[in-house]
């Protein structure tokens, strides 16, 4: 029966894909399966002693298995076959009772070369991904209908939450309320084009972001992978470009382009509301002489101060623009009568001329003198060009009247400062 069991055991080992062998008390291999021998390129078990493992390697393995008292022990190492190949192997060992120093040790070796190579490739890939993730500024979320399932390190940096906190959040926690309906609609519809939204951080601060989402199938379930890119810098740059295109570089006031746009809007609004407004054309007296004597830097200083005083005197709904070197225009919505416009003109004259501008150095303080022309809509014009022409003519009439005064766009008007 013992011999029959041994033969059955050997036949079973022979069919296993690995190399099955037995280590004796001296650390020598006493038995090896036929299939394993073929894989290793050997012809019998005797020559495996020195060809696969030497006693210094096998004895520690044997002692480890005995100490484990029947528990399977596993190690991985590299061996060289008789075919000259270096192979990665996994060795599983188990001591047979009684667990004495001379007990039998059954072992099986599995060829895991491809598994180790795949593991190395995966480890290298994971390391590359970690490096790319650390360098990436794009927050990635894997979510189910807006409920976060997984995320990356950039998400922690972008939103100010820890990873564990992010895994407890949903879209409502990181998307501002004004853009949340749009984001949720895009999630439900599977929208896969980039779009912009407003995101919010843990501290409540908000920032513009570009969102790019795509449905993905994982383990048979449709999830959504969404990337967030903080576009604050891009938005700031775009805003700066828009501002520079529409504002005067020196004074930051609206330039001629923006002024004309606002004048057109003022006409349309007045037509709809059936109300009036006033347009003022302001020219600084003797400014060319100041520029010639003091230089352009002095002229720029005066123009900047004029812009500050005009803006500080007018309402927030009013528009003051610089449309030329020393030419300014003002739109006064809701100005119904000449008396209303006259009152504003007197305030502007007072703001400009009451306090001289200290130019520094050897230059004398400069007292601002301004000629102002006033046109009323619709009395003096119903189009942009008509109003501008009327206000410009009135300004020249003010200059001819002695400067530092104002005139209305009326041939018979005699209102002066």
The domain boundary, picked from 178, 198, 233, lies at: 233
**Facing residues of 68 across strands?**
none
Residues of the chain short of pLDDT 50, as ranges, are 46, 411-417
Alpha-carbon distance of 371 to 369, in angstroms, equals: 7
Q: Does 414 reside within a domain?
A: no
Q: What is the pLDDT of residue 412?
A: 41
Alpha-carbon distance of 117 to 133, in angstroms, equals: 24
| Closest by Cα among 382, 373, 375 to 338 | 375
Could you give phi then psi for residue 342, rounded to 5 degrees? Answer: -65, -40
Domain match, 213 and 269 both: no
Q: Quick count: other Cβ atoms within 10 Å of Cβ 238?
A: 11
Q: Does 40 reside within a domain?
A: yes
Residues sharing a CB contact under 8 Å with residue 66, sequence separation 6 or more, in sequence order:
95, 99, 100, 101, 103, 105
Domain match, 13 and 109 both: yes
pTM higher than 0.85: no
CA angle centred on 370, ends 364 and 376, rounded to 5°: 165
Strands in 73-80's sheet, in edge-to-edge order, are: 29-32, 19-23, 105-111, 86-95, 73-80
Could you give phi then psi for residue 218, rounded to 5 degrees? Answer: -130, 120
The domain boundary, picked from 175, 205, 233, lies at: 233
Domain match, 398 and 264 both: yes
Domain match, 45 and 85 both: yes
Q: Do residues 34 and 27 touch, judged by C-beta distance below 8 A?
A: no
Domain match, 328 and 220 both: no
Alpha-carbon distance of 355 to 302, in angstroms, equals: 12
Domain match, 395 and 347 both: yes
CA angle centred on 290, ends 286 and 295, rounded to 5°: 150
Q: Can you give the residue range of the structural domain that contains 157?
A: 136-233
Q: What is the pLDDT of residue 9?
A: 58
Q: Do residues 322 and 330 touch, judged by C-beta distance below 8 A?
A: no
Q: Does 101 reside within a domain?
A: yes
Q: Does 242 reside within a domain?
A: no
Q: Does 417 reside within a domain?
A: no
Domain match, 175 and 300 both: no
Q: Do residues 21 and 31 touch, judged by C-beta distance below 8 A?
A: yes
Residue 219 CB burial class (10 angstroms; 0-12, 13-18, ≥19):
exposed
Q: Does 415 reside within a domain?
A: no
Q: Does 370 reside within a domain?
A: yes
The CATH number of residue 80's host domain is: 3.30.450.20
Question: β-strands 206-218, 221-230: how paired?
Answer: antiparallel
Alpha-carbon distance of 223 to 212, in angstroms, equals: 14
Q: How far is CA 229 from CA 142, 222, 303, in A?
A: 15, 23, 41
CB-facing half-sphere around the CA of 178: CA atoms within 13 A: 8
Domain match, 269 and 399 both: yes
Total of domains in the chain: 3
């Amino acid at each position: 029966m013992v011999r029959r069991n041994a033969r059955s055991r050997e036949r079973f080992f022979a069919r296993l894909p690995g190399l099955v062998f037995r280590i004796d008390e001296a650390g020598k291999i006493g038995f090896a399966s036929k299939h394993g021998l073929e894989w290793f390129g050997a012809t019998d078990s005797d020559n495996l002693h020195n060809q696969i493992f030497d006693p210094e390697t096998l004895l520690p393995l044997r002692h480890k298995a005995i100490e484990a008292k029947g528990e399977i022990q596993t190690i991985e190492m590299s061996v060289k076959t008789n075919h000259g190949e270096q192979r990665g192997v996994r060795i599983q060992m188990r001591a047979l009772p009684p667990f004495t120093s001379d007990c039998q040790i059954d072992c099986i070796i599995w060829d895991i070369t491809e598994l180790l190579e795949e593991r190395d490739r995966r480890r290298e890939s994971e390391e590359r991904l970690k490096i790319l993730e650390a360098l990436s500024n794009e927050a990635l979320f894997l979510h189910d209908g807006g409920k976060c399932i997984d995320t990356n390190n950039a998400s922690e940096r972008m939103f100010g939450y820890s990873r564990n906190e992010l895994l407890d959040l949903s879209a409502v926690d990181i998307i501002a309320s004004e853009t949340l309906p749009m984001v949720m609609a895009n999630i439900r519809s599977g929208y896969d084009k980039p779009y912009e939204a407003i995101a919010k951080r843990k501290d409540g601060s908000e920032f513009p972001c570009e969102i790019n989402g795509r449905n993905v199938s994982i383990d048979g379930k449709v999830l959504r992978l969404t990337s967030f890119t903080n576009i604050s810098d891009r938005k700031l740059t775009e805003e700066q470009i828009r501002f520079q295109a529409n504002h005067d570089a020196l004074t930051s006031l609206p330039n001629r382009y923006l002024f004309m746009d606002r004048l057109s809007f003022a006409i349309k609004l007045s037509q709809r509301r059936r109300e009036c407004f006033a347009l003022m054309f302001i020219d600084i007296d003797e400014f060319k002489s100041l520029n010639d004597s003091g230089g352009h830097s002095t002229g720029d200083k005066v123009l900047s101060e004029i812009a500050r005083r005009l803006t500080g005197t007018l309402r927030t709904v009013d528009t003051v623009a610089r449309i030329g070197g020393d030419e300014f225009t003002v739109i006064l919505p809701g100005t119904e009568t000449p008396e209303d416009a006259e009152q504003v003109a007197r305030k502007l004259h007072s703001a400009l001329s009451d306090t001289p501008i200290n130019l520094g150095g050897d230059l004398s303080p400069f007292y601002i003198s301004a000629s102002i022309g006033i046109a009323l809509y619709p009395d003096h014009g119903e189009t942009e060009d008509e109003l501008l022409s009327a206000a410009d003519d009135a300004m020249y009439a003010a200059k001819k009247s002695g400067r530092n005064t104002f005139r209305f766009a009326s041939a018979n008007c005699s209102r002066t400062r």
